[in-house]
């Protein structure tokens, strides 16, 4: 697992609109990477809806939410459109789960991302990592705790 103080692994993925997103293109921003096992599954759908509801929490911490899933960009587009998600979901479809694996957020037995969230500061350094079991959603309180790890969050 990544640890606080580690550099975030580099990546190049496409979002739900087919636009390339790299770690380098995100430098200078606070990020919350949210690995989601599968689009349209029950717990993932409830988590995505909660992330939409929690946008004021992330905005107050000046942090951009970015979901990452092993689903195709087409599935992710349909999913975000259905829920009205205002943030990007990145497709780690091929090579299947390679980026999740670099972030130590991939379960090779199931072929899915684990339910892991990683806060990254403006320099690309990990400031918080937390996970829940596949059958348990992450909570707003967990995100609030992770956001408090940024140096100047009020």
Positions marked active-site? 44
Contacts 24+ apart (CB under 8 A), 38-46: 38/69, 38/70, 38/71, 38/112, 39/69, 39/71, 39/75, 39/76, 39/78, 39/79, 39/89, 40/75, 40/79, 43/115, 43/134, 43/135, 43/136, 43/137, 44/69, 45/79, 45/83, 46/137
- Give CA separation, 58 vs 51, 85, 141, in Å: 9, 14, 12
- Give CA separation, 114 vs 25, 82, 101, 122, in Å: 24, 23, 10, 24
């Amino acid at each position: 697992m990544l640890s606080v103080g580690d550099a975030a692994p580099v990546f190049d993925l496409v979002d739900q609109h087919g636009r390339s997103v790299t770690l380098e293109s995100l430098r200078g921003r606070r990020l919350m990477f949210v690995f989601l096992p599968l689009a349209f599954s029950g717990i993932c759908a409830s988590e995505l809806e909660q992330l939409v509801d929690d946008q004021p929490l992330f905005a107050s911490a000046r942090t951009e939410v970015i979901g990452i899933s092993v689903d195709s960009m087409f599935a992710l587009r349909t999913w975000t459109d259905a829920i009205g998600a205002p943030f990007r979901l990145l497709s780690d479809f091929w090579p299947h789960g390679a980026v999740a694996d670099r972030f130590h957020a991939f379960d090779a037995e199931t072929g899915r991302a684990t339910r892991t969230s990683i806060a990254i500061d403006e320099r690309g350094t990990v400031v918080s990592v937390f996970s829940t079991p596949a059958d348990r959603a992450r909570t707003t309180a967990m995100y609030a705790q992770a956001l408090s790890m940024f140096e100047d969050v009020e």
